[in-house]
Copies of this chain bind each other. A is one copy, B any other.
Amino acid sequence: MAAVHTPPVQTLIDELGRLPGIGPKSAQRIAFHLLKLSDTDANRLADAIREAKARVRFCDRCFNVAEADLCPICADERRDPSILCVVEESRDIIAIERTGEFRGRYHVLLGAMNPLEGIGPDQLKIRELLSRLGPEGVNEVVICTNPNTEGEVTAMYLARQLTPLGITVSRLASGLPVGGDLEYADELTLGRAFEGRTRVGG
């Protein structure tokens, strides 16, 4: 006598369980929470997902999230085009902007290199990064990938690509806890790491 959830509930649990950091038990808990909410409250989440997917796109230039061709930072004429900050994800930009230490532009890789999962340079926005350097007059790149294995591998790869082109390449300074994620750093630590960035390669 195996009891199973009714199909719409099981589908909901399955879909929730696909989200990062949500295990089967959490998915079940969230599903039943949604079922107990009013239709209005539960459908607000469904609407928010549809709305975000419909309205949000990636910036044509830097792959930050955007609602137009360019993200607000790329569209801001006051940002210095000669210095680029390379990050893994859009959310890292929010963290760096909060420090107030950086006045240049960004480039979002949309991930980090991870050979075990088949994510190499071609799966990231690295070709697009290289093609920005000349037209935008970039002479410095600050690599702000996460201070973990994937982030370090990506940083090393980028440094090897960029230094032969005469670009000054730097990496966020120590101050970030090793093995952690950039987005969890507090503003002071991240700001200090930005000030003390160290040159890589060349």
Complex copy number for this chain: 2
Choose among B9, B30, B52 the residue that contacts A56 (Cβ–Cβ < 8 A): B9
Residues of B within 8 Å of A35, CB to CB, are 52-53, 56, 65, 90
> Given that A30-B19, A48-B12 are known contacts, is A184 also in contact with B65, CB under 8 Å in the complex?
no
> Given that A16-B45, A35-B52, A42-B53 are known contacts, is A94 also in contact with B8, CB under 8 Å in the complex?
no
Number of interface residues of A (CB under 8 A): 60
> Given that A1-B97, A12-B48, A94-B5 are known contacts, is A53 also in contact with B34, CB under 8 Å in the complex?
yes
Name A98's closest neighbour in chain B (CB-CB): B3
Dominant secondary structure of chain A at its interface with chain B = helix
Could you tell me which residues of chain A, from 40 to 66, have a CB within 8 Å of some CB in chain B?
42-56, 65-66
Bound: A45/B15 CA distance, A: 5
